[in-house]
Structure formats: structure tokens, C-alpha cells
Chain A
Amino acid sequence: MPLKKLLQSSPKVIPAVKTEKLIGVLNKLAVGSKSRLSKQDELPEIFVIPTQDIPPEELKKLRKKGIIIKLEDGLINRLLRLEKDNRHLRSLSITDELTGLYNKRFFNKQLKIEITRTKRTGEPFCLLIIDLDNFKSINDNLGHAKGDEFLAKISRKISHKTRPTDFSCRYGGDEFAAILPETSLPDGIIIAQRWRELILGVARQMKVQVSSSLGIDEFNTNSAISAEEFFNKVDQELYIAKRKAKNKISHPDPVSGSIAEAKSVTPTEKDSLYKAFAQLKKQREKTCAKG
């Protein structure tokens, strides 16, 4: 039933907004001109439950909670306000204030999601941890404001220059982490190089001696480790990079993982090889006996 008609027939409704995409459409509706809706606009999908269908005692409870909206309240506007507040609150809870990148809380959650996704789809993903070299020197010599400016600048560059599907996070003071979904290690290493170059570029621009050390590894269907263990593994790579020299990327050999996987000759294959060998031996003994 069309929303308008439904709203007319039942003065009290409980609304629920479905998709985020809808907000734009609702906005246009709120302004009041239907003509501004383009053909591609998805029509509002609002689930409404007419209150006449709800038993009186249930209705009472709902009324107490204040989630029943009267038409005269300006449903659309109220919906929009709610959704906007929600989005604002959500973004506050997942972003880092200074850099605008995702925060550690979001990152930890997303890492678990990606691990589950890899297990389900079989697509590997990469985890990249970045630690700035010499960052302390900016804070010490030029002040914290300059340090913050540096962090904000690289973060802005990174949001622009990395793939939109990557999740870039500020993990700590001068430590960053990025989740690269559906990315295998060789491709991840290229992204890591991009991070390193970007950071060098900003450092050159601001005339400071800062570079970065990076650790990266791939999570694939053979990785039987938890999110924390995987994070520690990549952190270990970062540690190796730091120890080697500044401005380095450390990663496990991309090939070694797949070797470990393929190296094992299966029991059936082994069995066939053993049988073949036994046969060869028999032939040999036969010819020896003859000779």
C-alpha cells in the first residue's frame, strides 16, 4: 500500500526506516516537491504498522515508550531528524576525531568481520600496520599542533589515495592500521608501498624527517588463528621492519604460505608412489635374478 494512503487511513503509525540511501529521497519529500525525485530514486521503504492492528494492552506499552508517532507530529521530519542523529552518533562512535579515519574500536570489530567473511567466501584479505618513524621529533621540536597537523594531513591523503573499499584506521598515537578486503599479499604489498610513499611525500612537504615502518600479512582460508593472533602476527612483521631500518615494509614471503599448503603430498598420492616403487623394486630384483 502506498505510504501516503496508509498514513491517511491510520492516524497513528510506528515507522522504521530501512536503508541509508532512503535518506536522500526522504529529504526531497520533506522539502515537499515530488517533482524533484528522479526516476532512479528508490521510493521510500518504510514499514508502518497501523495501530488499529495492535492489541490495546500492547499499544499502551508502546505509548509509554514514546515510539508511537502521530501524523500531526510531522512524521517525515521527525524520521529525518532521528536518522540524522543516529548517523551522527554512529559516526562519532567509529571515527577518530583528529584524523577522521576509523578508530580502534571500529577497527577491532571490522577485523573480526573480515575474518568471518574470508572464512565464508574464501577471499583473502590483508592487514597492514603502519608506525611512523621519528614522529616524536615533530612534537618535540615543532610542537604538538604541528604533530597533529602532520597526522591530519597524511590521513586526508590516505583517504583520497587508497581504495574506497579499504578501511584505514588510526590505531594509536602515531600508529595506523588498514584492512584491505579481498586483497592477496602481493597486491597488499603494493598498497603498503603507496602508504609509505604518501607519508614520505607529506613529510617532504612539511619539511620534517619522518618516514614509516610497515608490517603486512594476508589472512586466508588456511589461517587458523583468531583476530588477536593475526594482529599480533602482523605487529611482529612491523617489529621486524622497525628493527631492520627505517622506512621499510616487512612481510612474510608471499610464496611460503602457498608452499606450506601445497607441499603436503596426500596419503592417496603417497600410497600410489609407494606402490609404484614396490613394483619397480620387484622388476629390478627380477632382472638381477636373471642376470
Chain B
Amino acid sequence: MKTKSKPLIFSVTSGKGGVGKSFITTNLATTLAKQGKKVLVADCDLGLANIDIMLGINPVLTLKDVVFGTLHLKDVILSTKGGFDLIPASSGVREMAQLLFEKIQTIKDMLLEIEGYDIILLDTGAGISEVVLQFNLLAGQNIIVINRELTSLTDAYAMVKVMYQVFGRQSFSIITNNIKDEKEGLSIFKNIDTISQRFLGFPLHYLGHVVQDDAVSKAILRQEMAVLAFPQARISANFSKIGKAILDFQKA
């Protein structure tokens, strides 16, 4: 018996900008695709989309044509060299960032209609705007990316707090990025986890870490996926581990 299962929707979010959301999203999507999953990435950073730039593509149709035109999300999906499909957003369109409430609703409805994928990753914009929260709400699970900066820690906590207080969400996953080693990642996670338990009353879930690696900047410069360009690098192993954690999460 074959039942059509709904795709799992994850959002990759952070609160603070520049912690590597899009980098994590694309490399994670590539990793999951390599593991045989059908993956769709939606670039939901409506103000400053950059996944297309990371992939070195220049899409003709973008989310903008869905928002301001008559197209369906399905119409703008394209396949990428990372092995996953992408709904590109357009950069530098100011009004996109201030999408009307109703428009967000339609985008959300369209996303839920899309079939044929195992996993959908939503790359949200930075900050704690309504748009970001709406996409986080749409996702079944929120992955919050943290690096070693203080503001990244406080903004991640603020994101968890807002999602909890506004929508009652109590389940969040953490990825630590751009850190020295596994130990450092774990202690960053333990710190925010303790604070969440103490003030909000629930634990966080740790997906894993991505280390600082020269391969990352090299891959970004060459507009390539780091895990494809440097499969032997430590970060590729990191992403495999995170991908496995996500699939385990799916089973649970």
C-alpha cells in the first residue's frame, strides 16, 4: 500500500543575519539529496535573497512573479546543481520584504499544496519580522542557526521566545555554525538549552555543528556547494551527520 505522505517542512532561521543560514540550507539540501531524498528549497528571504547567487544562477521567474503576478509557486521551481529544487526569491525588491499579510497566506497555502517532495527547507530572512515568523509557523520544525557571536546567541534566544510566546511552539532544533570543533558547538548549544529550560521551561534539540573550514570560503567564491566541491572536507562529514539527524527526527 502506497500512501502519499506530506513533505516535512523545516525552516532555517536565526534571528541574527550573517550566521550562515543560506549556506547551511543549500549544503544541507545537497546532502539530503545525495542521500536520495527529494528536496525543495524555498528562498523565503524576501528582501535579500541570495541562494541564487550562491548557486551561480540567474533565474528568470522568482517568488516575485508569484507575489505580484499570477503564477503559482510550482511555476517558478527550478532544479539546481546541488541536486535539489529551488524556489528562488528576488533580491533587492524592497516591497517584497513588507509583503502584505494576505499575500503571505497565499504563499503558505501554495507551499502546502506542493507535492512530490520528501523535505522542504525554508530559508527565512534575518530578524524577527512578521514575515519570518509566518514562515517559521508554517514549518513543522524550526532549525535555528547559531555561531559563536554573542548577538547570534541572544537573537536565537529571542526567536525561540517569540515563537513560543506568540504561537506556543516548544520544539526547536539548533545547528551551530562556523565553530572550532564539536566540543565548542556542544557547549554553545548547552548554554542556550539551559537558558531555554530555565526561562521558558522546555529543552532544545541539537542537530549538530559545522566547523570553520577554508573549504567554505573557497566554495562560496567559486559559487559551488561546499559539500560537492570538497566531499573529503570536515564540513561534508558535519553535514552528513546533520542530515542523518534530520532524517532520524523525521522517523521519530
Please give the residue numbers on chain A whose beta carbons come within 8 Å of chain B beta carbons, in ascending order: 253-256, 258-259, 261-263, 265-266, 268-270, 272-274, 276-277, 279-280, 283-284, 287
Q: For B184, what are the chain A residues with a Cβ–Cβ distance below 8 Å?
A: 280, 283-284, 287
Q: For A261, what are the chain B residues with a Cβ–Cβ distance below 8 Å?
A: 165
B134 touches A255 (CB 8 A): yes
A265 touches B187 (CB 8 A): no
A280 touches B199 (CB 8 A): no
Give the CA-CA distance A268 to B198 in the complex, in Å.
Answer: 11
Q: For A276, what are the chain B residues with a Cβ–Cβ distance below 8 Å?
A: 153, 191-192, 194-195
Smallest CB separation, B108 vs chain A (Å): 13
Smallest CB separation, A253 vs chain B (Å): 5
Which 10 pairs, one residue from A and one from B, show the smallest C-beta to C-beta distance?
A: A262-B165, A276-B191, A277-B150, A262-B162, A258-B166, A255-B130, A273-B154, A272-B195, A253-B130, A253-B101
Smallest CB separation, B220 vs chain A (Å): 24
Question: Which of A254, A255, A269 is the one whose CB lies under 8 Å from B195?
Answer: A269
B153 touches A258 (CB 8 A): no
Contacts A259-B162, A279-B191 given; indicate if A287 touches B199 (C-beta within 8 A). Answer: no
CB-based nearest A residue for B184? A284
Question: Which of B162, B165, B187, B194 is the one whose CB lies under 8 Å from A283?
Answer: B187
A269 touches B157 (CB 8 A): yes
Smallest CB separation, A104 vs chain B (Å): 31
Q: For B6, what are the chain A residues with a Cβ–Cβ distance below 8 Å?
A: none
Q: For A262, what are the chain B residues with a Cβ–Cβ distance below 8 Å?
A: 161-162, 165-166
Q: For B187, what are the chain A residues with a Cβ–Cβ distance below 8 Å?
A: 280, 283
Q: For B153, what are the chain A residues with a Cβ–Cβ distance below 8 Å?
A: 273, 276-277
Contacts A253-B101, A259-B166 given; indicate if A284 touches B180 (C-beta within 8 A). Answer: yes
- Chain A facing B: main interface SS: helix
Could you jot down 11 A-B contacts, CB within 8 Å?
A253-B130, A254-B101, A258-B165, A259-B133, A265-B161, A266-B199, A268-B199, A269-B199, A273-B154, A277-B191, A283-B184
B150 touches A274 (CB 8 A): yes
CB-based nearest B residue for A258? B166
Q: For B166, what are the chain A residues with a Cβ–Cβ distance below 8 Å?
A: 255, 258-259, 262
CB of B111 within 8 A of chain A?
A: no
4 extra interchain contacts, Cβ-Cβ under 8 A, other than A253-B130, A284-B184, A287-B184? A253-B101, A263-B162, A265-B161, A274-B150
Smallest CB separation, B133 vs chain A (Å): 6
Give the CA-CA distance A266 to B184 in the complex, in Å.
Answer: 26
For chain B, the bracket of interface size reads 20 to 34
Q: For A258, what are the chain B residues with a Cβ–Cβ distance below 8 Å?
A: 165-166
Contacts A255-B130, A273-B153, A280-B187 given; indicate if A265 touches B194 (C-beta within 8 A). Answer: no
A265 touches B158 (CB 8 A): yes
CB of B148 within 8 A of chain A?
A: yes
Give the CA-CA distance A256 to B101 in the complex, in Å.
Answer: 11
Q: For B133, what are the chain A residues with a Cβ–Cβ distance below 8 Å?
A: 255, 259
Binary CB contact string for chain B from 104 to 148 against chain A (1 if under 8 A, 0 otherwise): 000000000000000000000000101001100000000000001
Give the CA-CA distance A262 to B128 in the complex, in Å.
Answer: 11
Give the CA-CA distance A265 to B150 in the complex, in Å.
Answer: 14
CB of B219 within 8 A of chain A?
A: no
Give the CA-CA distance A268 to B187 in the complex, in Å.
Answer: 21
CB of B188 within 8 A of chain A?
A: yes
Give the CA-CA distance A270 to B153 in the complex, in Å.
Answer: 10
Give the CA-CA distance A272 to B154 in the complex, in Å.
Answer: 10
A284 touches B148 (CB 8 A): yes
Question: Which of B101, B148, B157, B180 is the one whose CB lies under 8 Å from A287?
Answer: B180
Give the CA-CA distance A284 to B176 in the complex, in Å.
Answer: 15
Contacts A259-B133, A272-B199, A276-B191 given; indicate if A265 touches B101 (C-beta within 8 A). Answer: no
CB-based nearest B residue for A268? B199
Give the CA-CA distance A111 to B192 in the complex, in Å.
Answer: 45
Q: For A283, what are the chain B residues with a Cβ–Cβ distance below 8 Å?
A: 184, 187
Q: For A287, what are the chain B residues with a Cβ–Cβ distance below 8 Å?
A: 180, 184
Q: For A265, what are the chain B residues with a Cβ–Cβ distance below 8 Å?
A: 154, 157-158, 161
For window 152-181 of B, CB contacts with A under 8 Å fall at 153-154, 157-158, 161-162, 165-166, 180
Question: Which of A254, A268, A273, A284 is the one whose CB lies under 8 Å from B157?
Answer: A273
Binary CB contact string for chain B from 190 to 208 against chain A (1 if under 8 A, 0 otherwise): 0110110011000000000
CB-based nearest B residue for A291? B180
Contacts A256-B130, A279-B191 given; indicate if A263 touches B158 (C-beta within 8 A). Answer: yes
CB-based nearest B residue for A256? B130
Q: For B195, what are the chain A residues with a Cβ–Cβ distance below 8 Å?
A: 269, 272-273, 276
Q: For B158, what are the chain A residues with a Cβ–Cβ distance below 8 Å?
A: 263, 265
Give the CA-CA distance A256 to B158 in the complex, in Å.
Answer: 15
Q: For A279, what are the chain B residues with a Cβ–Cβ distance below 8 Å?
A: 191
Smallest CB separation, A26 vs chain B (Å): 51
